[in-house]
Structures are given as C-alpha cells and as structure tokens.
Amino acid sequence: MGKRIKKMVYWLVGLVVVLVVAAFAYLQHPKFGHLPEGKRLAQIEQSPNYRDGEFQNLIDTPMFTEDKSFMQVLFENLRSSGERLRPLDNIPAVKTDLRALDPNEDTIVWLGHSSFYIQLAGRRILIDPVFSEGAAPIGIFNQAYAGTSDYTAEDMPPIDLLLITHDHWDHLDYPSIDSLKPKVAEVIAPLGIGAYFEQWGYNNEFVHEGDWYQSFELGEGLRVHLIPARHYSGRMLTRRKILWTGFVLETPEQRWLFSGDSGYGPHFAEIGERFGSFDFATLDSGQYDPRWAYIHMNPEEAAQAAEDLRAKAVLPAHVGRFTLAKHAWDEPFQRFEAASEGKDFRLLTPMIGEPIRLSADQQFGHWWE
C-alpha cells in the first residue's frame, strides 16, 4: 500500500512539474509582450499621469464598483448566465473592397467591436484592428460572433497610420499586428505600447508613443491627438504599466474622435472645451456592467458624452462582435437609439463593413433586428 501511495505521489508531483513548465513555456509566446524597460520606462516615469509605479486616471477609478477582486468577478460570471448574450444567426455584414476605395474620399468603415478602417486627408488609417476569431489569451474563450470575421490583414490596402488605444486583447491582437507589419508605415500609440511593437519586429523609428494631449503632425493637414480615457491597461495580471488613450484626428475641415475604452467622466466635457466640437465620434457603449461601471459607458452615458463633445454624428463602439459582459448582445444598439431621441447628434448604425461618408446623407437600418 505504501509503495502504491508513493508511486501516486511521484506521478502527481511529475504532473505538476510538467504543467508548470508547460505554463511557463506558453507564457513566453510573443503575444503576451514585454513590459516597458530602460529608456522607454524612463520616459514613462516622466509622465504627469504616472505615479506610484503605475498610470492613473484623471479621477479616482476603481476597477470594480464593489470591493471585489478580479477572480471573484470572474467566478461570479462563470456561475451565472445571461440571456441572449450572443446572436443565434450570422450578423449581417458587408464585404467592402477597401483597396478599391478612393483614398481621397473621407470614409469610415466599422470592422466590428472597436476596429475601424479610416480614410482622412488622403491617409489610410487603422484603429485597433482585431481580425482574429477570438479576443482572449486563449481565443476559444471569447469567440467572435458568426459573420463578423470577414476581414483579414490581406484585405487591407497599404496603411499609412496604425493607431492603438491600449493593450487589452480585444484591441491589441498579436496575429493581426504581425500580419499587418509589411503594410504599416507608421504607428501611434500611448506610452509603453512601443515595447510590444519592438518585440514583434516593428522598426522603433516608425513607432511613436505619446501621452494624453500630445499631438503628432503627419503633414498635408492631418494632426493626431491622444486624449484621456477612463480605463486601465494590462495584458495579464499586471495593471496600468502602459497608458490607455482615445484619439482625435483633425484636419482643417474635419475633427473626428475615437474614445477607445472609457467610462464616463468629466474628461469628455474637457475634451469638448479644448477642441470645440466634433463632426464624428465613436464612443464606447457596450460591455457595460454595474460591477465595473467606472471603466465602460452604458448607452445613456455615451449619449451624454456625445453631448459633452458637441458631436454631430456618433457611432457606437465596443459592440457587435464579442461578448464581454452579461447584457444581451443587441441591447447597446436599442438603448443608444432610445437615448439619442431628441438629441442634437445623429446616431449612425452601419453594418460591419458598410462605408460611412459624412458628406452624404446616409440612412442606416436596424440590422440587429
């Protein structure tokens, strides 16, 4: 009996060792990235938004509204289920030939969730491209909705500018960034994300990192501003070592805003005061939950943010491709539409891949129905 128990113990110890070694080897995959160090970390430490070893939001922003840990919330989600978290059928989408679009025509194409293809001032721009079927360390745990993965890196024309808002899996996707490498001329991202791009083989000379309210002139009348967002960063368990941001794209004729992931806060009114008004804005309005109410907006808050920004046209973002919260997948569209009634902005609800031309009086249907 003693020999049998010893043998079982040896097997268990061996199994644990194998699992630990396998986990360590898996975590060396380049998709997990490296945290900033050396000169990059020294630059971060000069930021007024970096204190006590991490980036801070402009106002106090706990990750959870209740005194709970990430693991507690994770287990709560595993124990509970929501209704209609995913669509039963394929999401209707349009497969536009992006390479055939006139690059001199200002155009926005929503690629699902928070990914956008943009043409502005003759530049081709990508924001947070996620072409993968999954948005998690192990993609099978967060699969894209059927019908939402038509676009790949191969479908993209040469990209003049790649913009990344932060390092979460549903915004910074290693396979997509790696596949885009031959097509991307320049990258603009918040402080710290350059460490990922350096590891992934991008030339540091063409990767520009910035702090909130820092601007980059790209010539021919296009300026890119980084703007505050109320959120956090972190690819695994380490939090807030890399900055998170939204973007303003500005030309002499147009001013467009992309909020990135953000809870509601006074920064929207401040941005509106700084820039005046916006011709177009995409606003985080999905994956909300009362337990993390500070780091994502619900549709009513997004409608208020649109008013704070004095936006003329608004597109919901962080919706339509992945389920990260317990609300029905189509609820953000329904609530945003109701919250937009009587407001001064026009709510735009294109299908994935359907071009938006602000110069045209386009009408979009309720495709989610």
pLDDT at 87: 96
* pLDDT attached to residue 1: 53
pLDDT in tens, 319-331: 999 999 999 999 9
What is the DSSP secondary structure assignment for residue 352, as one 8-state letter? B
Residue 315 contacts by C-beta under 8 Å, 6 or more apart in sequence? 108, 110, 280, 281, 282, 283, 347, 348, 349, 350, 356
- State the pLDDT at residue 28: 58
Question: Quick one: tokens of 61?
Answer: 């922003």
| Block residue for tokens 């994300």 | 193
**What does DSSP assign to residue 113?**
B
| Per-residue pLDDT at 162 | 98
Kindly give, in sequence order, each residue whose CB lies less than 8 Å from that of residue 163, ignoring residues fewer than 6 positions away: 125, 126, 127, 128, 187, 188, 189, 224, 247, 258
Ramachandran region, residue 220 (left: φ > 0; alpha: ψ -120 to 50; beta: rest): left
pLDDT of residue 255: 98
User: What confidence score (pLDDT) does residue 19 get?
Assistant: 54
3-state SS assignment for residue 78: helix
Beta strand 355-356 pairing with 313-317: unpaired
The count of other CB atoms within 10 Å of the CB of residue 179 is 17
CA torsion sign for 64, 135, 24, 53 is: negative
pTM of the model: 0.93
- What the block records as the tokens of 107 is 């155009």
DSSP-based helix, strand, coil % in the chain, nearest 5: 30, 20, 50
pLDDT below 50 — which residues of the chain? 22-23
- Dist CA 31 CA 174 (whole Å): 5
Partners of 282 in the β-ladder: 258, 315
The C-alpha atoms of residue 189 and residue 236 are separated, in whole angstroms, by: 19
Give pLDDT tens digits for 231-259.
999 998 899 999 999 999 999 999 999 99
Q: Distance between CA atoms of 215 and 205, rounded to whole angstroms?
A: 17
pLDDT of the residue at 366: 96
Give residue 18's pLDDT: 55
The interaxial angle of helices 299-309 and 267-275, nearest 10 deg, is: 30
CB within 8 Å of 220: residues ≥ 6 apart: 121, 122, 123
Calpha distance 251→253 (Å, rounded): 5
In whole angstroms, what is the distance from residue 121 CA to residue 162 CA? 15
